[in-house]
Amino acid sequence: MTDADLPTLEFLNSLADTLAAGTVDLPAFPQAVIKVQEAFKDPDYTPQKVARVISTERTLADRLLQMANSTAFNATGRVIIDLGVAINRLGAQKVYSVALGHAVAHIRHNESLRSIAPRLDALWSECVTVAHFSEAVAKRKSLPFPGAFAAGLLHGIGRFYILVQSASQGASKVPLNAALVDAWHPVIAKAVLKNWHMDEAVCEAVGAQAEVNIVRVGPPTLTDVLIASIRLANRMQNSHDTATLNAGGAFVRLELTIEACKSLIAQASEETRALQRALRP
């Protein structure tokens, strides 16, 4: 690291310290999302109670209905028009992660972030793709990970938070060191998600997403699913990247051969497009 990298390191350290103190500083965070979080904390939670909260935010309600009716989550093709039924089908983890994603999309339109809006859009598109693969991999291997979709959708929240803070605090005048951002964004993401009271398994997986070379023992974990899904999404976006699907690491632990990976990618196109439409910023 050179002296030129010190401003980036100081900036990232400052973000980590603020998050550790329990403060997530994002502009114009929708109140409806905070109410959704409170509804899920209610010990008497029911899909209908959450539906009543979500129905006050029409755009979020529409997102969830579109998602529940997408090819990824509606194999029967039977159209769902009742929000409570949609929430019950998707499950609490997916609904809450989509609510947070809705907040991210809302924040992206803030005037102070206009300069980085294209980067935020590209990041969000990548997160939706990784969410699809996380769900698909967990289903393919019959793994009991209800947080798979949430981990995929929110794995990039650290990058998002760094970009937003950089723009809103004027730190964008100092070019952020890409290597440092790559190293720190999982740590930042985990801290943000802990502050948002996401499931512990999701927080741990998101925080460990860059640990691709660590040898793990025991059965596959949500971290393995997320790491594999990020690689699958990268390969889907760049079919010429021959190294992405090399055997090893998470793919071995999940028993995903190159042929299985190619099959997942081939099947992903339509479902990913449907999710992108449902969750577009």
The structure's pTM equals 0.87
All structural domains of the chain with their residue ranges: 3-278
CATH number of this structure's domain 3-278? 1.10.3210.10
Angle at 124 between CA 121 and CA 127, to 5 degrees: 155
Nearest CA among 170, 203, 15 for reference residue 93 = 203
Q: Contact at 8 Å (CB) between 60 and 54?
A: yes
How many Cα neighbours within 13 Å face the side chain of 260?
A: 15
Rounded to 10 deg, the angle between the 117-140 and 157-168 helix axes is 170
First to last CA, the chain: 36
Residues in the chain: 281
The predicted pLDDT at position 245 comes to 66
Contacts of 88-91 spanning 24+ positions with Cβ under 8 A: 88/47, 90/64, 91/146
Q: Which residue has the tokens 């973000």?
A: 15
* Residue 22 exposed, middle or buried by CB count within 10 Å (0-12, 13-18, 19+): exposed
pLDDT beneath 70: ranges in the chain: 1-4, 28, 169-174, 241-248, 281
What is the model's pLDDT at position 1? Answer: 57
φ and ψ at 145, to 5 degrees?
A: -120, 85
DSSP 21: T
Q: How far is CA 108 from CA 21, 101, 111, 123, 184, in A?
A: 25, 11, 8, 11, 21
Output the pLDDT for position 91: 87
The per-residue pLDDT for 174 is 60
Q: What per-residue confidence (pLDDT) applies to 3?
A: 64
3-class secondary-structure state, position 43: coil
Would you say 181 and 159 are in contact if contact means Cβ atoms under 8 Å apart? yes
